[in-house]
Amino acid sequence: MRISSDFPHSVSDTYTATREQIILPDNMSYLIRRDDYPNPICIWNYHPEWEIHYISDAAGFAYVGDYVGPFKPGHLVLTGTNLPHNWITPGAPSLPGRDLVLQFDADTLMQARAICPELDVLHRLKPMSRRGIEILGSEAIDIGEMIVELNSRKGSVGLGLFLEILNAIEAAPRKRALATEHFISLYGELSDKRHRRIDQAIQILQSRPDTQMHEVAETVGLDPSAFSRAFRRLTGMTFSTYIRSVRVWRARTLLAETEMPITDICFEAGFNNLSNFNRYFRMETGLTPRDYRTASRIRNKSIVPSPEIRTK
């Protein structure tokens, strides 16, 4: 089933898709989570990371690129870099834990195949991932159960299972590409350069949160007004909202993990005065910086290893 001319997410307005910001956990190759439906992030979105999306017990409609079609329990799809997607269950008031979502930076992992040859499976999956891959038949449920198991594991103990999931997707005898080649070629031609520029801007802001908008715009080769429009279109938020969140995130890390004075943290995080820092920090977290530091220390003291796993 293909999207008709009156479907809202045609190539001409695909830029209305929101860029989901994905932050992988420290020392992890992937992010896995279970999402309720409806959910603020369950929207027409895209991101550079690949995503494996499993829905075990619900039905609705899947939107991947220019594809739209029904899904039923046991639905499993892999989407590649910057491929817009969404899953809708019409009329459902609430479906707790409807979606299991596994996200990872495939491009970075592919660069590591020299030291981990098992990651070569990503190179083999990449051509189909551009269009989105739906796994069909009982294999989708089998792989879905592996994803459920991965979600129950913590830390690096899940890496082997993560690789098993990728290999199982490649080996599945019944799978199909979803978006058309026409959509991918046209969408890529229209959007790839803008995506790269905004992704570069985001990397700059995350590493140097004190950078001003005109400096970022100049670095990525856009004038400030064009950059501001493109940034909002591709991330779903204004530059000022995004950079404020990045700066607060940086401040939270410094408050929790260092003894740096709060005044120094204010400027290190990119704020230009203490009053703005305190106001925006409280808007984002509901706490003052001092209260946040205190709460972080209480939390850290409460995390005590159980006797059987304490270091002897």
* pLDDT, tens digit (0-9, with 9 covering 90-100), for 118-134: 899 999 999 999 999 99
CATH 3.40.50.620 for domain 11-179: no
Tell the burial category of 8 from Cβ atoms under 10 Å away from its Cβ (0-12, 13-18, 19+).
exposed
In the prediction, which pLDDT does 301 show?
56
pLDDT confidence band for 15 (50 / 70 / 90): very low
In this structure, of 5-14, 82-91, 263-272, the range with the lowest mean pLDDT score is: 5-14
In the prediction, which pLDDT does 190 show?
54
**CA dihedral sign, ordered 3, 60, 161, 165:** negative
In the prediction, which pLDDT does 253 show?
84
Query: Comparing 81 with 296, which gets the higher pLDDT?
Result: 81
CATH of domain 193-298: 1.10.10.60
**Top-ranked range on mean pLDDT: pick from 172-181, 251-260, 285-294:** 172-181
Q: How do the residues of the chain divide into helix, strand and coil, expressed in percent and rounded to 5?
A: 50, 15, 30
In the prediction, which pLDDT does 296 show?
76
In the prediction, which pLDDT does 112 show?
86
Cα distance between residue 160 and residue 225, in whole Å: 46
Q: Region 206-231: what's the mean pLDDT?
A: 88
- Which tens digit of pLDDT belongs to each residue from 199-218? 788 778 877 888 899 999 99
Q: Region 158-179: what's the mean pLDDT?
A: 95
Cα distance between residue 18 and residue 3, in whole Å: 19
Q: Give how far Cα 97 sits from Cα of 34, 55, 75, 125, 258, Å.
A: 5, 9, 14, 27, 36
pLDDT confidence band for 300 (50 / 70 / 90): low
Instruction: Report residue 177: phi and psi, to 5°.
Output: -80, 145
In the prediction, which pLDDT does 199 show?
73
Identify whether the C-beta of residue 205 lies closer than 8 Å to the C-beta of residue 243: yes
Taking 70 as the threshold, does the pLDDT of residue 241 lie above it? yes
Q: Give how far Cα 23 sits from Cα of 27, 32, 35, 169, Å.
A: 12, 11, 16, 24
Query: Comparing 249 with 188, which gets the higher pLDDT?
Result: 249
Share of the chain above pLDDT 90, in %: 44
Q: Give how far Cα 208 sits from Cα of 174, 243, 267, Å.
A: 46, 10, 12
Identify whether the C-beta of residue 109 lies closer than 8 Å to the C-beta of residue 122: yes
In the prediction, which pLDDT does 195 show?
67
In the prediction, which pLDDT does 127 show?
94
Domain residue ranges in the chain: 11-179, 193-298
DSSP 211-268: --HHHHHHHHT--HHHHHHHHHHHHSS-HHHHHHHHHHHHHHHHHHH----HHHHHHH
Asked if 11-179 and 193-298 have one fold, the answer is no
pTM, full prediction: 0.62
Identify whether the C-beta of residue 99 lies closer than 8 Å to the C-beta of residue 35: yes
Per-chain mean pLDDT for the chain: 83
In the prediction, which pLDDT does 250 show?
86
